[in-house]
Amino acid sequence: MGDERGGAWRARRSAAERRSAVRSLLRLWPYVRPLAPRLFGSMAVAVGASCMALLIPLVLKWTVDGPVAHRDPGGVWLGGGLVLLLGLLEAGLFGLRRWLTARPMAALEARMRADLYRHLQRLPVAFHDRWGSGQLLSRATGDLQILRMFLAFPLVFLVVNSATILVGFTILLTQRWTLGLILLVPAVPLIVLCTYFMGQYSLASRRAQDQIGDLTTLVEESALGIRIIKAFGRHRSQGQAFRRAAHALLGTELRKARLLAEVWLLVTAVPDVALGVALVIGAVQVSDGQLSAGTLVAFLSTALALRWPIESLGWLLSMSSESATAADRYFEVMDTELPPDHTAGPDAVSRAGDGIRFTGVQFRYPDAPDGTPDLLAGLDLHIPTGQTLALVGATGSGKTSLTALIPRLYEATGGRITLDGMDIARLPKERLRAMVSTAFEEPTLFSASVRDNVLMGAEQAGEADLRWALQTAQCGFVHELPQGVDTQVGEQGLSLSGGQRQRLALARAVVGRPRFLVLDDPLSALDVHTEALVEGALREVLATTTALVVAHRPSTVLLADRVALLSGGRIAAVGTHHQLLAECREYRQLMSGDADDRSAA
């Protein structure tokens, strides 16, 4: 992925790094709110389960100081039975907690993913130009999985373990406050050190999650570009690029592991040292007769029961930090505002018969370098209803960009484009795109059947339209495919030839018999014989619609009533093919060779 492309999300990332983890996680509240009763219920159940565990030492104390001291076997059995009952209750409550959260959390993940997908679909093409696909893919998969797991497990246990620690220390202090304090005092430096480590961990986890996104982009590009890689023997350089990215990720993951190990060492070693000191002092007190053996057993059992809640804090905090990063990455996409989609206003009144009209249209790509001139600089062009206009221009003159403005894949930066008098900027996009159909230079097919790929072109189209569109685009080859029109064409239609894909894309563009048709060099991949057949059928379609056809070859130009030459961001000349050949030197140069022969004929 290019550096400029990554710049946008990296800038957002540094902003996110400054945001607090709690604030990032609180943004999940709208999604969590409907599940709040279950979530809080599961927390309460888990706190109950942990309290059962904390009651066990108290039963032990009663058993040691009572029945054991007084040699009462019945009392010992009762104590043992109580411990067993508390253990069973604890296990049952933890099972209930899992049941309460598992399904709703999976539903929450699905809802967040659906929202992200919907938003990505509505974001403009300019957004997708800027973001690496792997960055979006990793947000839609890995990050959402991290968030689900956080809500189902670390969040609950952060609350439960904090409550357990609070209750546990209260019990410890009430049993023997001096010994309790020995355990409590190290908590202060522990909290300070953990906060520092968590800050560092949060930065590392953000870096790791972004690097996963970069790596995903690389893998995706390698899979899609496998033919180029093989044809040019670029395995080694691609492999090196992959290893570099994987190595960078490995480095970040190792740093995370180091930080986690340091936190783990602190939260394990410091309480253990304190426990050792308390044990020695407690044992001395028991031998001096200042403390009962039962109280020391209960004290130590309670302290040991608190070991896991304390030790797990480091791990839970690290998962929370990763989840805060995942939330930031999710909302970076969700916060990207959609361009306004106006409803029909006074300008959207139809003036039937006006066709397609460009008035003073200006355009530059949002990421065009400063100081470069506008790609389209005050362009005027009119295609009356029912006519076909061929757009010709040198490579890079902006033909494709101009066609992308009509369905508003990009927004013009100045001027007006009207369809039958309706300003497209004031038309709801859904209505606009029902009026305009497009076939792009690079035909994209989806992993679906031929039928679905073609019918995607129009919502209302049926079987008869499908047959007609396939016939018009000379797609007879589909009937020879194993399942005819129901054959799956595979990812990006790679199982078909370039010319077959182009014809299917053309069928998709015409299937809805659109009022306005925009075709970007639609016959470039066809052989001369097939091209002649498609042209013949296409003429009939073009006669019933208003069309703009980008043309590189005279044969395509001859489909049109008139030709416009795009040069220097404006329409430099308009006329018939023969007029322009006679009058316009630039056009003659563009159409040289074959064109001269045809015009002469």
Ligand X SMILES: Nc1ncnc2c1ncn2[C@@H]1O[C@H](COP(=O)(O)OP(=O)(O)OP(=O)(O)O)[C@@H](O)[C@H]1O
Residue number, 348 or 563, with CB nearest to ligand X? 563
Residue number, 513 or 570, with CB nearest to ligand X? 570
Q: How far is the CB of 400 from ligand X (least distance, A)?
A: 3
Verify binding: residue 130, ligand X, rule CB under 6 A.
no
Secondary structure of 144-204 in the HEC alphabet? HHHHHHHHHCHHHHHHHHHHHHHHHHHHHHHHCHHHHHHHHCCHHHHHHHHHHHHHHHHHH
Residue number, 125 or 280, with CB nearest to ligand X? 125
How is residue 280 written in tokens?
A: 């020695």
Contact 186, 270 (CB under 8 A): yes
Q: How far is the CB of 209 from ligand X (least distance, A)?
A: 26
Write the CB contacts of 212 (distance below 8 Å, at least 6 apart in sequence): 138, 142, 249
Q: Is the dihedral of CA 415, 413, 125, 445 positive or negative?
A: positive
Verify binding: residue 375, ligand X, rule CB under 6 A.
yes
Q: How far is the CB of 542 from ligand X (least distance, A)?
A: 20
Verify binding: residue 569, ligand X, rule CB under 6 A.
no
**Where does residue 593 fall: left (phi above 0), alpha (psi -120 to 50 degrees), or beta otherwise?**
left
Distance, in Å, from the CA atom of 105 to the CA atom of 149, rounded to the nearest integer, reads 8
Q: Which residue carries 């009952």 as its tokens? A: 85
Q: Per CB under 6 A, which region of 66-74, 399-407, 419-427, 488-496 contacts ligand X? A: 399-407
**Choice from 161, 217, 318, 397 touching ligand X (CB under 6 A):** 397
Residue number, 308 or 365, with CB nearest to ligand X? 365
CB atoms within 10 A of CB 38: 17
Structural element, H or E, at residue 8 = helix 3-18
| Touching ligand X, residues 352-371 (CB under 6 A) | 365, 367-368
**Choice from 289, 395, 430, 480 touching ligand X (CB under 6 A):** 395
**Choice from 154, 271, 309, 398 touching ligand X (CB under 6 A):** 398
Write the CB contacts of 344 (distance below 8 Å, at least 6 apart in sequence): 422, 426, 427, 428, 431
**Choice from 340, 346, 396, 593 touching ligand X (CB under 6 A):** 396
Residue number, 130 or 515, with CB nearest to ligand X? 130
Question: CA–CA distance from 2 to each of 163, 172, 212, 323, 593 (Å)?
Answer: 48, 59, 16, 27, 39
How is residue 19 written in tokens?
A: 């945001």
Residue number, 31 or 365, with CB nearest to ligand X? 365
How is residue 344 written in tokens?
A: 């029909």
**Choice from 162, 336, 401, 488 touching ligand X (CB under 6 A):** 401
Verify binding: residue 268, ligand X, rule CB under 6 A.
no
How is residue 361 written in tokens?
A: 């249209």
Verify binding: residue 121, ligand X, rule CB under 6 A.
no
**Choice from 61, 113, 139, 399 touching ligand X (CB under 6 A):** 399
Verify binding: residue 393, ligand X, rule CB under 6 A.
yes
Residue number, 153 or 365, with CB nearest to ligand X? 365
Verify binding: residue 129, ligand X, rule CB under 6 A.
yes
The site for ligand X (CB under 6 A) is made up of 129, 365, 367-368, 375, 393, 395-401
